[in-house]
Copies of this chain bind each other. A is one copy, B any other.
Amino acid sequence: MKFATLPNGTLDGKLILVSKDLLTAVDVSSIAPNLLHAIQNWETVESDLNAVYEQLNTRKASEIFDFDPSVCLAPMPRSPQWLDASAFTNHGRLMEQAFNTDPIENFDTIPVMYQGASDDFQGPTADMPMPSEEDGIDFEGEFGVIMSEVPMSTSAEKAVEHIRLIVQINDWSLRALGPREMNSGFGFLQAKPSSSFAPVAVTPDELGDAWKNGRVNMHLHVSWNGQRFGEPHGSEMNFSFPQLIAHAARSRRLTAGCVLGSGTVSNVSRAAGSACISERRVIEKIDLGEIKTGFMRFGDSVRMQAKYDDGSDGPFGVIEQRVVENSSAG
C-alpha cells in the first residue's frame, strides 16, 4: 500500500491511499483518520485498507480523485520518536579522513544514532525557515522506516517484522552547529532542525526486489538549484534497518509509529556523488586539497527522488524544498 496525508486542520492530517502509479488517490480517513492511528491500530485496519487499495488500483473505488503530491504534508506529520542513524559508514570515514579526527569507537560494529524532533515533520514542498545562512545550511537525503510497537530488547532477527512502512527523508542539518554539539558528547540538537518527508509512505512489498537485506536498494537522486548533485545507492548501507531497530530498542520500548532513518545515503564510488553538501565538501578537501562548495543560501532549492535500478521513478514521490529566512522568532 501507498499512503499520503492531506491537511485538514489537525496536527496529524487526513489519511489517503495513493494508487500504484501515484496518479490517483482515495480518502480512507473513515477507516483510519490519520497514518499514526493506522500504524497504532494496524491489525484492525490493515485488511480494510488493503481492500480499498485494490479497488483504487482497479479503479473500482468510489470517489477517486487526482493525487496532488504538492499539497501533501509529511505522511506522518508527528511521530512518537525520530531516531536517525549514520548507517552508511563511508560518510563517516570521509569525515574522519578530511578532518583528521579519531575514528568513532566500534564504528563498524555498533551503529551511531541520535534522537531528533518528531513533532514537526515537514511536507515535501514546504519552505524551510532557517535562522541564519551562517549556520551551514545543508540537506541530507535518507531512507527510513516506520515501525509498529517494538518491545524493549527486540533482536534484529525479530525487528524486521516491525517494519510497517518505508519513507524517503530530507534530514535538514546546520553544519556550523554540529562540531560543538558532537564535541560536547551530548550530540546533535541545534544542528538538526525538523526533517522533511517525500509525500508517499509505502509498505515494503511495494518495493519488490528493491527491498532486500533490510535495505532500500534504490538510487536517491539529489539536485541542488536544478544541478545534479548525486544519486548514491541504498544498498551500501553498512547496517540494515532491522539491525538499527534492535540498536534503538536496546533499553527502551518504541511505541507504534516511530521513524528510524538511515543517515545520509553515501557510496564509496566518487562517481555516485553525494546526498549532502558536507560530504561533497570533505571529498573536495581530500581529492582537491581545498573546499570549493559553500552551503545553501536563502532561496536555494533541493530536489530528491528515489529511482529504481532500471531508472524508473521510485514510489515515494519527490521532495522539492526551498530554504527561507525564519521570521517567526519572538
Chain A interface residues (CB < 8 Å from chain B): 11, 78, 80-81, 83, 86, 104-107, 110, 112-120, 129-131, 135, 150-155, 158-159, 174, 177, 180-194, 247-248, 250-255, 258, 326, 328-330
Contact = CB atoms under 8 A, between A and B. Distances in A.
A86 B265 CA distance: 33
A129 B113 contact: no
A86 B186 contact: yes
A187 B113 CA distance: 8
A254 B112 CA distance: 25
Residue with the greatest number of chain B CB neighbours at <10 A, chosen from A86, A250, A328: A250
Q: DSSP class of A's interface residues: helix, strand, loop or mixed?
A: loop
Contacts of A80: 78, 118-120
Contacts of A78: 80, 255
Given A80-B119, A255-B120, A329-B153, A189 B104 contact: no
A115 B151 CA distance: 20
Given A119-B80, A183-B104, A330-B154, A190 B251 contact: yes
Residue with the greatest number of chain B CB neighbours at <10 A, chosen from A104, A152, A326: A152
Contacts of A247: 189-190
A216 B110 CA distance: 39
Residue with the greatest number of chain B CB neighbours at <10 A, chosen from A150, A189, A191: A189
B105 A180 contact: yes
B251 A104 contact: no
Contacts of A186: 86, 112-114, 182, 187-188
B115 A131 contact: no
21 contacts: A11-B255, A78-B255, A81-B117, A81-B118, A104-B184, A104-B185, A110-B180, A112-B184, A112-B186, A113-B186, A115-B189, A153-B329, A154-B329, A154-B330, A158-B330, A159-B330, A181-B185, A185-B185, A190-B251, A192-B251, A253-B328
A326 B252 contact: no
A185 B182 CA distance: 4
A252 B185 contact: no
A94 B113 CA distance: 27
A119 B114 CA distance: 16
Residue with the greatest number of chain B CB neighbours at <10 A, chosen from A188, A247, A252, A255: A252
Contact of A152 (B105, B155, B251, B328): B328
